[in-house]
Amino acid sequence: MDVRRRLPPQKPTFLNPPPPPKPSAASTRASDALPLPMWLTNIIFVVLFFAAATHLMRVWRDKIRSSSPLHIVSLSDMAAIVSLVSSVIYLIGFSGVGFIQSDITEDEEQQHPNPQFVSSCPQSLDPPPPHPDLSVSASDDEDLVQSVLNGSLPSYALESTLGDCRRAAGVRREALRRITGRSLDGLPIDGFDYASILGQCCELPVGFVQIPVGIAGPLVLDGVEYYVPMATTEGCLVASTNRGFKAISVSGGAESVILRDGMTRAPAVRFGSAKKAAQLKFFLEDPANFDMLAVVFNRSSRFARLQSIQCALAGKNLYMRFTCSTGDAMGMNMVSKGVQNVLDFLQNDFPDMDVISISGNFCSDKKPAAVNWIEGRGKSVVCEAVIKEDVVRKVLKASVPALVELNMLKNLAGSAVAGALGGFNAHASNIVSAVFIATGQDPAQNVESSHCITMMEAVNEGKDLHISVTMPSIEVGTVGGGTQLASQAACLNLLGVKGASLVSPGDNSRLLSTIVAGSVLAGELSLMSALAAGQLVNSHMKYNRSSKDMSKSY
């Protein structure tokens, strides 16, 4: 926003919105090679196939009855054989290729970004070649900078114009420096593959931010050990979570259960009257109509499967919350496509329906909302562990009664006094954010993904501690978006959940959600123990603050 305000009024800003993407050659279909429309060609060859097959069957039947040689064929028989073979080749060739191509196109969100975005910059698994330290790599880039400054070359078009994403970032960075009069020397630009983010992760790049990644572990979860990457700038967070992992590990590990798995999208539509809106509500919630709506919805992807539709009415406005499975993708794009299919379908029977927005906030995405806390969104997970008494005392430096009392007064009663919504925990968002950033998740979805209630009670005659975290809306994926970047993919690979599951679609993303919950369990256990023992301030002074006496600086 500061960049826009500093622009001279007579010059157009270089941060202009890009024009609509042009159709690319990647959208070519197998049917484009046909001289006639595909529907007409299909009819011709289907009729040809059955006509030829019927003729040959009749001829061969007559020959068998009359004991005539089968290898002697007439001109009409030869024509029928050629027609049969050609129709079979067509039906298998063009129709088969068209079916496979459409299936791939429907699920492109599970694979790669749109080619129209990446065609302008070469993509390679190898790191980009090193560049000089200067943001502008060559003297002739001066003309490009001037073109950006005077508005003749939009900044967003640099990548497609130059065909070099690193060079485009350098030109854009230099133009920004001259417009604002401020230096970006502390923001690194070299050592990053800018082609990998084109069209899928970040627009108008001028550099990248370095965030350290720490490793905590092992987390023993459901009998398997995991070393969890955490990207954070907060001191003590990784160390504290690591202490929680140790306490869980020596106590026998944690166990998890996935209660639900479904991403949501809720469009908002408006009618001329509340009665009309209620009619659509009744239609959508009628079980007799669900199968029909599911067929329409599921056309968006072979991974999308409609699970439920929940409606809410506000006067003549209707909010429809669609829930569907999304495989190993987080699935926002997938569910949005399915919802659009249903809206188009409903428009035929409800022509007076006015679609206000594909998202009406009843979803609810990237906002604290009771509907996510109650109904769930993404993965709903519960994770638990029993911590032995001696582990609580020796590793956590606390006692079971003190932890149980603290949890009741802080996480439950204290959060209730504050009017918390989904915040009945000590610091779940701390761990969720760190794991999200390390593994390429959408950091903004930390809002609802951190909904968590932490429970503690004494078990085994009051000697041991039972701790659990219930998280109804963990929104994660292992394909698409930031998960495809090299650093984030490496962190997913460390956890054994990189990419789509080859065994069962959705297994990798579900496993990642349980790892997130298990990490939150460890973080809650360790922080609550530090609070109960009065260690919080000392630990943060040791790991999160400089020991320098600042009073001597004045």
Q: Which residues are catalytic?
A: 234, 366, 442, 540
Strands 423-424 and 452-459: parallel
Among 105, 439, 459, smallest CA distance to 300 is for 105
Question: If DSSP codes are grouped into helix, strand and coil, which group holds residue 255?
Answer: strand
382: part of which helix (H) or strand (E)? Answer: strand 378-387
Residue written as tokens 């490793």? 215
Among 540, 509, 499, which Cα is nearest to 436's?
Answer: 509
Quote the distance between the C-alpha of residue 160 and its chain's center: 26
Cβ-based neighbour number of residue 249 at 10 Å: 20
Q: Which residue has the tokens 């299909």?
A: 42
Alpha carbons within 13 angstroms on the beta-carbon side of residue 398 total 29
d(Cα 535, Cα 244) in Å, to the nearest integer?
Answer: 15
Task: Kindly list the distances between the CA atom of residue 324 and the CA atoms of 369, 449, 508, in Å, as whole numbers in the listed order.
Answer: 19, 17, 17
By DSSP bridging, strand 255-265 and strand 423-424 are unpaired
Cα(91)–Cα(38) distance, integer angstroms: 11
What are 305's strand-pairing partners? Answer: 325
Gyration radius of the chain over CA positions = 30
CA distances (Å), origin 343, targets 32, 266, 321, 334, 365: 29, 11, 12, 15, 20
CB neighbours of residue 63 within 10 Å: 16
| Residue (of 474, 404, 74) closest to 258 by Cα position | 474
Instruction: Enumerate long-range contacts of 304-311, CB under 8 Å, 24 or more apart.
Output: 304/331, 304/334, 304/335, 304/337, 304/338, 306/338, 307/262, 308/262, 309/284, 309/285, 310/285, 310/375, 311/280, 311/281, 311/284, 311/285
Task: Find the DSSP H helices in 219-356.
Answer: 237-250, 274-285, 287-298, 332-349
